[in-house]
Each structure stands twice: as C-alpha cells, then as structure tokens.
Structure 1
Amino acid sequence: MAAKSLQDQLLKAGLVDKKKANKLKAEKLQKKQKIKTGKAVAEDDSAKQAELKKQRDEKIERDKALNKAKEEAMQLKAVQAQIRQMIELNRLTHKDGEVAYNFKDEKKVKKIYVNEGIHKDLSVGRLAIVKLDEGYEIIPEQVAAKIAQRDESFILVCNDRSEEVVDEDDPYADFKIPDDLMW
C-alpha cells in the first residue's frame, strides 16, 4: 500500500473540504518559493522592521512632548501656589479706609478704599497692589518684586521709588506736584 498524505486522509474522512485543501496547498507552495528566493522575505522583513522602528520613534517623540507639557503645567501650578502663599502671608488689611485709591486692572479703572498712610505708601512705591482671585490685596514692595520675578501678571500697581530725573529745560520744573493730589 502506498502511503497517503495527511491531506488525502482528511479529505477521505470528510474533515476537510476540497477548497480548503487546495488553499492550504497553495500557501505551502508560496512558502517554499519564498524560502528559495530568500530576497522577497528579507525585503519584506526589512520594510516591516523600518516601519516598526519609525512608529516606535514617533511614539517616543509624542511621549516626550506630552511629558514636557505635563512638567510645564506642574511648574506653572507650583509657581502660582508660591505666589498665592506669598500674597496671603504678606497682605495688609485695608478694609477700613476712607480714601479712594484708583488703579487700572486690564482696561478698567478700579477703586479701593485705604487709609491715608497706605495711600501715601502706594503713591511713593513702598506698597503694591496685586490681584488674587477676584479681589485685590496690598502687599509690601519687596514681596511684589519677588512675585514679579515669578509672574508679573499678578502685579497691578507697583510705583517706582526712584527719584524722577528733572529736565533742566523743563518750563514747569519750579512747579511741584502736590503729594496729596488725588485722581
């Protein structure tokens, strides 16, 4: 008796139909041809490898960009927390004042009421006005300078202490602006 192939035996038993048997035979033949040529398999593998490497590199770049964005967000949050803490620890109470101090917040003129001493200190630059949430706080100029190093957007008013340079040709040099001038 001649030895029958496994495929023939499966066909005879009815476990596999003729279409499936022919398909398996064709696949087997293609594999043998690829192995003989060797080139087709190598080219196909190198193309796949190159594509996989490219995908890995792109994923690494996306991950780096995402990590950098997260790190920047965390740093911004930490700086804002530091600024909030500095303002809360150094703010002055000004709720009982009777003198209005006008200042600009974005494009609007705002007004807070302070006593005369705080008004004078704001005018000469010893105190500054900062924005905290929706309110305004008064802090010492040194604290405002530290806040400005971190984020200047919190500082609304911080007048310079430096003396103004007087122009010799100024026709109004003899006329001083009064200290108690309110606007």
Structure 2
Amino acid sequence: MRNPLQEQLLKAGLAKKGKVDQVAREQAKQRQGKPVATEAPEKIDTQRLQAERAERDRALAAERNAQAHAREIAAQVRQIIETHKVKREGEISYRFNDGDKIHSVLVNEVLRAQLAKGTLVIARQGDGYELLPRAAADKLRERDASVIVLDHGHAAEAKPASDDDEFYSQFKVPDDLVW
C-alpha cells in the first residue's frame, strides 16, 4: 500500500519502484511496533541469573563426581584387602606404629620373618589390621597409600642416605628384633 505522494512521484519518474517498495516495508514495520534490537534490563538480569545457576550446577556436579570417585577408590581398597589378606596365626605379638600409637598383631615365626623382610605389609582395614603380600600392597599404594601402615620393603627404597645413616651403618641392628 502506497500513499498518494509515492504514487505521484512514481508517475513523475522522480522515484524508482524498488525504493518506494523498500520505504513502504519500513513504514509497515514501524506501524506494527516491532521493537528495535535493544535488550531490556530484565533480559540481562535473567541471562546473568542463568549463568550463575549454570556455574553453581557445574560446581555441584564436580563435587558429586569427586565424592563418587572417592567412594569408588574406597571400595576398591576394601576389595583388594579382602581378596589378598594373609591368614594370621600364632602367638608372637608383632608391634608397629600407626600414627602416634603402637598397635600389635599376633603372628607366627614365618609371618614375622616375612614382615621383617618386607614381603608382607600391614594395612589398615576399618578398625583392624590385615597382612598383605607385596603385590597387593603395590595395588593399594596406587589407589590410597595412607592405608598401608607398615612396609619395611618400601621404606628402605624410599629413604635417601644421609650423613647420620653412614655413621650408624657400622652398628648393625637385627631386623627380627622384637620390642
């Protein structure tokens, strides 16, 4: 729909038909009241709230994943200990440190010798302690090294020699010393 002035300009040859059509479309858009591309403050607040909510959801999901991973590791540790534990038997009390407390387990002469050599290790399971072979201890160390309480074989490999160690090396202490 063109207005009479546009019709007269077209007849007089002062305006082109394409230009008149373009102006007519622009006027129709203005009459229909389509908003210009300015963002309302409510829309900006909504976007900001959505971004904050998404960030919070990502943080909660990461925390849940970390907790699930920790539970999975704990279950693997329990399973390794249960499947590889060595049967304890004997009357000899083998004492060891767990943190700042001294604990003991009852073993026989063979188990005590294996503990002293480092072929067996002592691992914490709940409130008790279990004897495990070296292979199982290596699997545990990969997952959670804090479970292993006593490991004579690994402790000798990990310690670097110091000046005091060189001096005291001339005084041999037997590994099978019972205290």
TM-score (norm 2): 0.70
Indicate yes or no: 2:172 matched with 1:176: yes
Residues 1:42 and 1:131: Cα distance change in structure 2 (over 3 Å): same
Residues 1:136 and 1:68: Cα distance change in structure 2 (over 3 Å): same
Aligned residue among 87, 91, 101 for 1:98 = 91
CA distance in 2, matches of 1:105, 1:169: 27
Instruction: Single out whichever of 80-89 and 153-162 deviates more from structure 2.
Output: 153-162
Counting only pairs closer than 5 Å after superposition, residues 1-183 of structure 1 correspond to structure 2 as 46-94=40-88, 96-160=89-153, 162=156, 170=167, 173=170, 175-183=171-179
Determine if contact 2:116/2:176 at 8 Å carries over to the other structure. Answer: no
Segments of 4+ in structure 1 off by > 6 A? 163-169
CA-based RMSD: 3.0
CA distance in 1, matches of 2:97, 2:64: 34
Per the TM alignment, residue 179 of structure 1 is displaced from its structure 2 partner at its CA by 3.9
Residues 1:171 and 1:69: Cα distance change in structure 2 (over 3 Å): closer
Residues 1:85 and 1:171: Cα distance change in structure 2 (over 3 Å): closer
Per the TM alignment, residue 145 of structure 1 is displaced from its structure 2 partner at its CA by 1.4
State the aligned residue count. 144
Residue 10 of structure 1 is matched in structure 2 by none
Letter paired with 1:90: H
Which has the bigger relative contact order, CA under 8 A and spacing at least 6? 2
Paired residue secondary structure (1:85): helix
Letter paired with 1:110: H
Per the TM alignment, residue 71 of structure 1 is displaced from its structure 2 partner at its CA by 0.7
TM-score (norm 1): 0.68
CA distance in 2, matches of 1:46, 1:58: 19
Letter paired with 1:93: K
